[in-house]
A and B are shown apart, each in its own frame.
Chain A
Amino acid sequence: MSTTTTLPPSAPAPETPTPNRPPRAPRQTWRRALRRDWQLYSLAILPLLFFLIFRYLPMLGNVIAFRRFQPGGNIFGEYWVGLRYFKMFLNDPTFWNVFTNTLVLGALTLLFCFPLPIVLALLLNEVRARKLKRFVQSVSYLPHFLSIVIVAAIVMQLLSMDGTVNQLVRAAGGEAIPFLQRPEWFRTIYVSSEIWQTVGWGTILYLAALTTIDEDLYEAARIDGANRWRQTWHVTLPGIRPTMVTLLILNIGTFMAVGFEKILLLYNPLTYPTADVLSTYLFRMGFASSNFSYAAAIGLFEAVIGLILVLSANQIARRTVGTSLW
């Protein structure tokens, strides 16, 4: 991930230009930079407006979490109410149930959807027949390109009373189960469909990283008497560690936002006890109950926790394994 936050050169001593800077700009003042590069800056105007309006303005819009908001009124709310909405949800038993669900689903997703692509990539890497390998890759990438609506529709068809899964259940002598109406099944369904959709695509970066591992390392390991398993453990896995760490941090960044759209499509009031997460709960609070400020407070809570998670994951990764996003 690109992370070069090269800060603008903080006014170096006038007569000592840094070596790798073009000689015609010995000292970059803003006026000089603007005069020379105004055409470049002009290209950035529309994109900057986009970020300002559609990314940063909504961040400020979160003040409605602290203010009374009336639909159709001021987008930043009417008057301050302090932490009222935060106190409200901290005292709301539904909120804590929803919060727990978010953590459980997030943890399960991480537990399965992070390591499985690594396993699949390692297995694919051992395949000798190139054509077979490409075929498996192409097939396994496919679900990634489907709309989440189609994935949800497919899941519903497979799990319907007359669907394949219940055909198997009946064949095994069981009673058909209305899976999507049973809260105890929701987590399994969610995580399995998530695996189905993401595991193949997730292998791409690992497969690329695997090709960069130096063959000589395997050679050396063999001479030292390492068998295949030990070669994988001592050469292959350390070789893809930076990729693993980077993807782990990115996964942790989406931990709190667990598949909002998919849950919205798959859940129903019967499965709320396990399926309802922060994002779906705030969606209903906002749009079904028109309680925008309350919903915004939950959203802000979620976003801040998400940010803290990704920042700490990054920090820990940098300290312990020396790899980080920035």
Chain B
Amino acid sequence: MVTIDAAERQTETTPRPPRRRGVRETRGYRAFQVVNGIILTLVVVVTLYPFINIVARSMSHESYIITGQVNLVPRGFTLDTYQLLMSDSMFWTNYRNTVFYTVTATVISIVMTTCYAYVLSKKQLKGRGALVGIALFTMFFTGGLIPNYVLVTSLGLKNSVWAIALPNAINVFNLLVMKAFFESLPTELEEAAAVDGLNTYGILLRIVLPLSKAIVATMVLFYAVSFWNSWFAAFLYMDRQELWPVTVYLRNLIAGATGAENVGAISEANEVQAEATLKAVTIVLTTLPILLVYPFVQRYFVRGIMLGAVKG
């Protein structure tokens, strides 16, 4: 479908020669360029506006929000609500949970995915087709919510990090990306290492993985973001508030669930600041880590998704 070559060209900074230079442009095409510029500006505005709006709301005084006066800039500027949320110990407990779940689940996923992808990349391995098929089939047919729930519950994984990490240990798309990468590595080094007496584990750890830092980093990002963002598994399997990740904290806040007792406590403690601002602040503080790392990691994601598109 797409070659690695193209993927690299897209992400690297080598400038693409401007297409069709030197050809006299028609008036129609110049008009198109103007319209195109307007459309793309609109895309940027529509994409960014919600973020700006939320930040503005989070720093505004409640009275301006509920009268519908906040859009681009904060009205009645105040950071009190930030202080309020940051003083909520449950928010921090849940934030810590998110970090803990993300790290644990990502480590497990990386180990499992790397091992299986390495095995699948060995083209001469007997039974490889079946091993690939076992993984591929699950992309298009799954057991479904209820049997999964019954399984996780009966394995006694409820209320533990395993309920989040184990059922999602291998993402087949990521597996295929890694497999494609391993297949693209030259085999000579591995063969030489084998001649030198290194066993398979040694080859994987000392020869293959050092060559695969880029893809492992991409995989870490893919998994980490998906676990950081996940909420449903925790929502389903974590019965107690102190076990929730921060996404479930936010979910219960916006759903106005009675389970979020602390929210009520906060509102009572401070009559003036109330829900609307608090929701905005929670959204901002939950999104912040992603927004902070996004500019630095975005290109790795792009590269990863295109590696996955390579026809294996």
Residue A22 lies at the interface, judged by CB distance under 8 Å to chain B? yes
Residues of chain A from 289 to 306 with CB closer than 8 A to chain B in the complex = 292, 295-296, 299-300, 302-303, 306
Give chain B residues whose Cβ lies under 8 Å from the Cβ of A167. 68-69, 71
Residue B200 lies at the interface, judged by CB distance under 8 Å to chain A? yes
The 8 Å CB contact of B133, one of A5, A152, A157, is A5
Which of the candidate stretches A87-95, A107-115, A182-190, A205-213 sits at the interface with the other chain? Answer: A205-213
The 8 Å CB contact of B53, one of A7, A39, A157, A161, is A157
Q: Tell me the complex Cα distance, A83–B127, Å.
A: 37
Is A43 a contact of B290 with CB atoms below 8 Å? Answer: no
A123-B39, A152-B254, A153-B254 in contact; A40/B122 too (CB < 8 A)?
yes
Is A58 a contact of B148 with CB atoms below 8 Å? Answer: yes
Residues of chain A from 51 to 73 with CB closer than 8 A to chain B in the complex = 51, 53-62, 64, 69
Tell me the nearest residue of chain B to A47, going by C-beta. Answer: B116
Is B6 a contact of A204 with CB atoms below 8 Å? Answer: no
Give chain A residues whose Cβ lies under 8 Å from the Cβ of B309. 1, 205, 208, 243
Is B154 a contact of A242 with CB atoms below 8 Å? Answer: no
Residue A143 lies at the interface, judged by CB distance under 8 Å to chain B? yes
Residue A141 lies at the interface, judged by CB distance under 8 Å to chain B? yes
Is B200 a contact of A39 with CB atoms below 8 Å? Answer: yes
Residue B247 lies at the interface, judged by CB distance under 8 Å to chain A? yes
Give chain B residues whose Cβ lies under 8 Å from the Cβ of A135. 44
A120-B43, A205-B2 in contact; A126/B33 too (CB < 8 A)?
yes
The 8 Å CB contact of B306, one of A8, A64, A205, is A205
Is A6 a contact of B128 with CB atoms below 8 Å? Answer: yes
Is A292 a contact of B200 with CB atoms below 8 Å? Answer: no
Residue A320 lies at the interface, judged by CB distance under 8 Å to chain B? no
A157-B283, A162-B65, A286-B149 in contact; A75/B116 too (CB < 8 A)?
no
Tell me the nearest residue of chain A to B247, going by C-beta. Answer: A149
Give chain A residues whose Cβ lies under 8 Å from the Cβ of B197. none
Q: Tell me the complex Cα distance, A298–B141, Å.
A: 14
Give chain B residues whose Cβ lies under 8 Å from the Cβ of A146. 229, 287, 290
The 8 Å CB contact of B144, one of A132, A200, A302, is A302
Give chain B residues whose Cβ lies under 8 Å from the Cβ of A60. 143, 147
Give chain A residues whose Cβ lies under 8 Å from the Cβ of B225. 145
Residue A16 lies at the interface, judged by CB distance under 8 Å to chain B? no
Q: In the complex, how many angstroms separate the beta carbon of A120 from the nearest chain B beta carbon?
A: 7
The 8 Å CB contact of B231, one of A21, A149, A162, A326, is A149
Q: In the complex, how many angstroms separate the beta carbon of A187 from the nearest chain B beta carbon?
A: 19
Is A44 a contact of B130 with CB atoms below 8 Å? Answer: no
Which of the candidate stretches B76-84, B163-171, B212-220, B262-270 sits at the interface with the other chain? Answer: B163-171
Is B254 a contact of A40 with CB atoms below 8 Å? Answer: no
Give chain A residues whose Cβ lies under 8 Å from the Cβ of B131. 44, 48
Q: In the complex, how many angstroms separate the beta carbon of A37 from the nearest chain B beta carbon?
A: 6
Residues of chain B from 1 to 34 with CB closer than 8 A to chain A in the complex = 1-3, 5-7, 9-10, 15-16, 18-20, 23, 26, 28-29, 32-33
Residues of chain B from 134 to 188 with CB closer than 8 A to chain A in the complex = 134-136, 138-151, 154, 166-167, 169-170, 176, 179-180
A140-161 to B contact mask, C-beta < 8 Å, 1/0: 1111011111101110111011
Tell me the nearest residue of chain B to A51, going by C-beta. Answer: B134
Q: In the complex, how many angstroms separate the beta carbon of B62 from the nearest chain A beta carbon?
A: 10
Tell me the nearest residue of chain A to B231, going by C-beta. Answer: A149
Interface of B is mostly: helix
Give chain A residues whose Cβ lies under 8 Å from the Cβ of B258. none
The 8 Å CB contact of B48, one of A4, A51, A139, A147, is A139
Which of the candidate stretches A25-33, A96-104, A269-277 sits at the interface with the other chain? Answer: A25-33
Is A150 a contact of B170 with CB atoms below 8 Å? Answer: no
Is B125 a contact of A150 with CB atoms below 8 Å? Answer: no
Is A37 a contact of B125 with CB atoms below 8 Å? Answer: yes
Q: Tell me the complex Cα distance, A157–B301, Å.
A: 29
Is A157 a contact of B200 with CB atoms below 8 Å? Answer: no
Is A150 a contact of B286 with CB atoms below 8 Å? Answer: yes
A239-252 to B contact mask, C-beta < 8 Å, 1/0: 00011001000000
Tell me the nearest residue of chain A to B175, going by C-beta. Answer: A47
Residues of chain A from 174 to 193 with CB closer than 8 A to chain B in the complex = 176
Residue A234 lies at the interface, judged by CB distance under 8 Å to chain B? no
The 8 Å CB contact of A126, one of B7, B36, B71, B119, is B36
Residues of chain B from 83 to 130 with CB closer than 8 A to chain A in the complex = 112-113, 115-116, 118-119, 122-130
12 contacting pairs across A/B (C-beta < 8 A): A25-B124, A40-B122, A47-B119, A47-B169, A55-B138, A120-B43, A140-B44, A147-B228, A153-B282, A211-B10, A265-B254, A282-B145
Known contacts A54-B167, A69-B150, A167-B69; 17 additional CB pairs below 8 A are A40-B122, A43-B118, A60-B147, A64-B146, A139-B48, A140-B43, A146-B287, A149-B250, A154-B283, A158-B50, A162-B66, A163-B68, A279-B145, A282-B146, A283-B145, A295-B145, A307-B141
Which residues of B are interface residues toward A (Cβ below 8 A)? 1-3, 5-7, 9-10, 15-16, 18-20, 23, 26, 28-29, 32-33, 36, 39-40, 43-44, 46-51, 53-54, 57, 65-71, 112-113, 115-116, 118-119, 122-136, 138-151, 154, 166-167, 169-170, 176, 179-180, 199-201, 204, 225, 228-232, 247-248, 250-251, 254-255, 276, 279-280, 282-283, 286-287, 290-291, 294-295, 298, 301-302, 305-306, 309-312
Complex A-B, nearest 8 residue pairs according to Cβ-Cβ distance, in ascending order: A58-B143, A61-B147, A2-B312, A299-B144, A147-B229, A39-B200, A47-B116, A33-B126
